[in-house]
Structure formats: C-alpha cells, structure tokens
Amino acid sequence: MSVPSDTRMAPAMGDAKGRADQWIGGTWFRGQGPERQVIEPATGKVLAEIHDATVAQAHEAVAAAKAAQPLWAALPPIARARKMRDVAALIRRDQAALARLVVQEQGKPIKEAMGEIAGAAEFLEYFAEFARRLPGEILPSDFAGEEVWIRRAPVGVVAAIIPWNYPAALICRKVAPALITGNAVVVKPHEMTPLSGLALARLFDEAGLPAGLVNIVNGPGEVVGEALTGSADVGLITMTGSVPVGRRIMESAAQNLSAVSLELGGKAAFIVMPDADLDLAVRSAVTSRFMNCGQTCICNERTLVHRSIYEAFVEKFVAVTRSLKMGDPLDPNTDIGPKVSEEECAKVATMVQAALAQGARALTGGGRPAAPPSDGGFWFDPTVLVDMAPDAQIMREEIFGPVVPIVPFDTFDEAVAIANQGTLGLSSYLFTRDFHVIMEAINRIEVGEVYINRAGPEGVQGFHGGWNDSGVAGDDGLHGLEVFMRKKTVYLNYSGATTVDLMPY
Ligand code: NAD
C-alpha cells in the first residue's frame, strides 16, 4: 500500500510501513489481487492505493478464523468481554484520528464521524455486558426424572460484509455480538472504504485479540465477498447493504445452507399530522434526511404532510434546509459533506432529473452546486421537491442522497397507504400528539422500526431489522445477539428408566 506522505492516517493503516492491506491470522499481508485507488469524496483525489485480496487470501482468512474460534469459545464469556472492552477503550482513545479517517474516505461531516466512532466503541461495550447474561433455557419435560435444556452455541465462523456509509461503526456492530457469543469473524469492508477497517484491525491487534479471531480482507464483493459467502466453513453471513446484493448473498449462502442476516435498503415515510409540534417535526425531518448526505438506511426518504399544515411545513423545511452549511467535511461547522462517489452522485442526479421531467419542482437545490466547496468532489445540493407525480420513481425507490420529496395528504388512511407502498419495510416516522393515531400507525405501518416524535438513530438495545425486502433477521439488542448463536436441545434424563416406561399417557 502506498500512502500519501502528507496525511496523518498513514500509521492507522496496515503495517508500520503502510504497505499491508489485509489482516489475516493476526498478520499483515499485502493483497495479491489488483491495485485499487481509494478516492477522497471531498476532493476526488487519490487518498491511498491498496491491493485487493484474492479468493485464496479470503479462504486463508476463513481458515484462520476457523482455527482460532474453538479456543476463544472455550474462554469464559467474561474473559471475552474484557478483551472487547480493551478494544473499545482503544477506539475511544483514537476517536479523533478514526473519525478523521472516516471523513476522508467516506465524506460525512467530522461531527457525525465523531458520533460514528463513539457508536463503534458502544457496540463493543454494550455486547460485552452480555458476558454474564447469555441466555439459555431449562424447560419441564414430559417425562419424570428429566429436564429439557436449550443451550446456545456459537455458529463458528461469521462472514461480516459491510457497506460504505458507516465504515467503522458497522464493523463493530457485527464483530461485537460475534465475539461475545464465541465466534470468529472475517470482515469484508466495502471496496470504496477499506481504510477504517484497517485502522480498526490495528486496534484489535493492539488489544491482543488472538491471532485469526478477527480478520479483515479487502476487495470487490463479486470476488472476495463471494469467496466468503460461498465458503462451507462460514456458519453465518451477516451483511448490511443493498437489496440486489442481499439477494445474491442468499443465493450464495444456499449452496451450504449457511445462515444469513441481511440489513438492506429503506424507503422511510415521515408522516406529519396536523397537531404535530411543527418546529420539532421540521427539524427532525431535515436531520433525518440530510445527515450523512442522505446516505443512511433509515433516513426520511418521503415526507408526507397533512394538507392543513403543508404550506407552513414546506416553508419552514426549505428555510432550515437552506441554512445547512455544505463544505469541507473536516470543518466542525459543516452540516453536509459530499456524496461518497461520483457514481452515487450521478445516480441521485438522474433520479432528480426524472422527477423534474415528470413535473416536480425543486424549491431549493435540484442538482450539483454552481459553486462547489471544492473542485473534483462529489457534491450535490440539498434538494426539496414538491408537486410529485404519484407514481414518480423517486417516491418508490431508495434515493440515498440529499433529496426529499414532500407530499400532502388529506387523511391518515391515505398517509398509511403511501407509507406501505412498495416492497421496502425498514423504518417509518410519525409526528403527532394523538395517542389513537400513534397506536394506529404502530399497528398498520409495515416496517421493522417506527419512530414516534423523533428522528433516528436507532438504539443499540433495540432490534434493527427490516420487513419485506428490507432484510432478513437483523442486528442489535438481545434479538440481534441470537442471530450469532445456534441452539442445542439437551434431553437430560436421570431417572434410569427407558422413555417407553416413563411415557405419561
Ligand atoms: P452494496 O450492496 O453495494 O455493498 C454492500 C457490501 O456487499 C459491500 O461490501 C460489497 O462489496 C458487498 N458485495 C457486493 N456484491 C457482493 C456479492 N456478490 N457477494 C458478497 N458481497 C458482495 O451496498 P452499499 O452501496 O455499500 O450500501 C448502500 C445500501 O446499504 C443502501 O441500500 C442502504 O440502504 C443499505 N444500508 C442498509 C442498512 C441497514 O441497516 N438496513 C444500513 C446501511 C446501509
């Protein structure tokens, strides 16, 4: 790996000479695959050059994980937890440098990146708490002199496939529950954002995690990702990313009947009722849309506002949107940074142009800025669209950018119907003080997560899992932890009689 000499990130990546880009079996290696440039979204310039791993290196990582896992699983959970807390402490120690790295490779504003790194540490701290609380059950048997136990066991090797939008936190979201439950992990970061994973690997190393317990391999999904998801030695594939890739991973997992947990796209409706606290709703809707430049899966993707307050809401929403400061994401005053890549920026531009061609109006923004904060970056103006065609693509498909359609509705039933359109069911928002409406929304909106009178983010103790095409299984909390464990039922008979003799009927 060659790293520009003027960047402070160099010590955070790979080995001391900054040449390694794969961490396999506790050793730093250079990828044996093609060279890849990591591009800084704010400037479009090359931030680092790494080499992709090969299929063989991905398999080596799985083998290293498989070898490390039994000893780790044999440790008392509290010993596993102590190591996890050591990693969390190192992440907190290096919070500023890690946040800077996230900004440089992914583009979110530094104040958000600081939150992402704190969140990464929190995943480790939270799941370490399960050391003395890992669940098991003892059930009464139908036979005298017998107990039925349901024990939890690790799945073995976990493949964790990570997207680019939270390149540090989402690694810890998968690694933490995997480790406390006695698994080993092979992480594959997104190919656009490999550096945060490498920086974390150095901290896993510094904390003294056993060699091979966590491995990081970089490279394209179709090569390195598929080498992991098609491996017979992987017990669980946990992936966060897009719906098409989620489908592909399920197909791949089917070869070996590996378990899968998929966190996929969203198309959240943000519903504002006439009795809502208008200022709170506006500020929350703006935050929910424009944080991370709109690149968050639970983001406000469609704002639905009751017609009686529509004009007032839109006016305030546009004013707050215009007050957002787009600029250098390393500047602590910046609210909006660049999109992650030119390709992602172009995708959003195409969607907006299609909406405008169908008669929508942009009240602010509408395209790339006339005077971007830097040349060469992937900038897109925060955009508010009204007068949408009911069947517009932008109302149905995930935008994943700083663009929001605002649509009026007349009845709550109509808002629920719009919220339930389409196949994505990750999250939804409702702003009202009416308890009856709140309960109706909770009952009727087809999503895995409902936010009442607040924007995101989700909590680590909740359960983050989408309905319908938004995912399978999920992350966080006790239910997310369960994904990382297999169950073993034990019929423990101490009666000395055969089951035929003991038959109660
Ligand atoms: P993506 O699906 O393009 O990539 C995700 C990961 O999958 C990457 O590491 C990629 O290399 C890998 N991959 C690609 N093809 C693969 C294959 N054939 N086999 C194995 N792995 C493969 O997603 P993205 O562009 O990184 O992220 C954006 C998407 O992620 C959006 O749809 C967003 O909504 C979703 N997302 C969801 C959540 C959630 O929690 N539900 C959170 C963040 C992002």
Predicted confidence (pLDDT) per residue in 139-184, tens digit: 999 999 999 999 999 999 999 999 999 999 999 999 999 999 999 9
Of 62, 165, 228, 298, the residue with max ligand 1 atoms within 8 A of its CB, to mutate for a pocket test, comes to 165
Query: Alpha carbon 295 to chain centroid distance?
Result: 10
- Quote the pLDDT of residue 13: 52
> CB of 421 within 8 A of CB of 332?
no
Selecting among 40, 105, 263, 398, the annotated active-site residue is 263
Distance 263 CA to ligand 1 centre (A): 8
The pTM score is 0.95
> In whole angstroms, what is the distance from residue 270 CA to residue 280 CA?
13
pLDDT at 497: 85
Angle 68-74-80 from CA coordinates, rounded to 5° = 80
Q: Whose CA is nearest to atom 11 of ligand 1?
A: 221
Give me the amino acid identity at 157: V
Q: What is the pLDDT of residue 501?
A: 76
Sequence-distant (≥ 6) Cβ neighbours of residue 248 within 8 angstroms? none
* Listed residue (269, 268, 233) closest to 253, CA to CA: 233
Catalytic residue check, 263: yes
Q: Which residue's CA lies nearest to atom 26 of ligand 1?
A: 163
* pLDDT higher than 70, residue 15: no
Evaluate if residue 273 carries a pLDDT over 80. Answer: yes
Q: Is 355 exposed, middle or buried (0-12, 13-18, 19+ CB in 10 A)?
A: buried
- In whole angstroms, what is the distance from residue 306 CA to residue 411 CA? 7
Any ligand 1 atom below 6 A from CB of 448: no
pLDDT tens digits, residue range 408-449?
Answer: 999 999 999 999 999 999 999 999 999 999 999 999 999 999
Among 6-15, 45-54, 164-173, the minimum mean pLDDT is found in 6-15
Per-residue pLDDT, 11: 37
58 CA to centre of own chain: 22
Spatial contact of 393 and 354, defined as CB atoms under 8 Å apart: yes
Q: Answer yes or no: is pLDDT of 391 > 90.
A: no
Confidence of residue 2 (pLDDT cuts 50, 70, 90): very low
Is residue 53's pLDDT more than 50?
A: yes
* Cα 245 to the center of its chain, rounded Å: 14
pLDDT reported for residue 1 = 35
Distance 322 CA to ligand 1 centre (A): 31
4 pLDDT band, cuts 50/70/90, is very low
Q: Between 41 and 9, whose confidence is greater? A: 41
What's at 430, amino acid-wise?
L
Mean pLDDT of the 120-144 span: 96
> Which one from 112, 172, 293, 297 is the annotated catalytic residue?
297
